């Protein structure tokens, strides 16, 4: 099956512009609030095929770059209780398929986190194409998924006196991506 690209999105290699992109996560804390964090060190490419189904995405994230706005919590996240950044310095995502979904896409792929690889699906919104003042051709996407920490071997937790656990199992991942077309 051949599926045309969205208007203005051209086949080729697009490099993720990390200065204008965001890799973020949200996890429920103590069952009553949400803690947000982000990866500040990442790189990736989007290879757009002549047909949507021929497109691919590859991203690498520096696990030590996780930042939540609280140095003590960030240090705990980098420790053996969570991400073990010295043992697992990178996380990766490599797409296995790109499927149209209305005007948008589902990007399926393998997420490797904490030494464990699991399939995930990213609900992806195409945000368009634009030329910036520096002469770059850009494209943008918003994507999200939800994962289970336990499926990636991230099981540290603490029981609450009132019942429940300190950190939820479910983690929402949200991406805002701006990519520049290679010359």
For the domain made up of 12-181, the CATH class stated in words is: mainly beta
C-alpha atoms less than 13 angstroms from C-alpha of 137 in its C-beta half-sphere = 10
Q: Is 129 exposed, middle or buried (0-12, 13-18, 19+ CB in 10 A)?
A: middle
pLDDT at 1 over 60: no
Task: Dump pLDDT digits (tens) for 24-67.
Answer: 999 999 888 899 999 999 999 999 998 888 999 999 999 999 99
Residue 71 sits at φ, ψ, to 5 deg, of: -60, -40
CA-atom Rg of the chain in angstroms = 18
Any alpha helices (H) in 31-176, and if so which ranges? 71-78
At 165 the pLDDT is: 85
Q: Is 157 exposed, middle or buried (0-12, 13-18, 19+ CB in 10 A)?
A: middle
Task: Dump pLDDT digits (tens) for 79-127.
Answer: 999 999 999 999 999 999 999 888 789 999 999 999 999 999 999 999 9
Element holding 47 (H helix, E strand): strand 42-48
- Is the CB of residue 21 less than 8 Å from the CB of residue 174? no
């Amino acid at each position: 099956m051949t599926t045309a690209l969205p208007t203005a999105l051209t086949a080729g290699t697009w490099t993720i512009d990390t200065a204008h992109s965001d890799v973020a996560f949200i996890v429920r804390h103590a069952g009553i609030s949400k803690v947000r964090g982000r990866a500040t060190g990442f790189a990736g490419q989007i290879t757009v095929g002549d047909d949507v189904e021929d497109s691919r995405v590859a991203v690498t994230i520096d696990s030590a770059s996780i930042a939540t706005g609280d140095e003590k919590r960030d240090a705990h996240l980098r420790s053996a209780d969570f991400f073990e950044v010295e043992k697992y310095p990178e996380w990766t995502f490599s797409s296995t398929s790109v499927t149209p979904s209305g005007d948008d896409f589902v990007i399926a792929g393998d997420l490797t986190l904490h030494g464990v690889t699991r399939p995930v699906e990213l609900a992806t919104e195409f945000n368009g194409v634009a030329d910036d003042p520096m002469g770059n051709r850009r494209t943008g996407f918003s994507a999200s998924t939800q994962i289970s920490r336990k499926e990636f071997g991230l099981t540290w937790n603490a029981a609450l006196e009132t019942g429940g656990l300190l950190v939820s199992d479910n983690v929402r991942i949200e991406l805002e991506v701006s990519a520049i077309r290679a010359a």
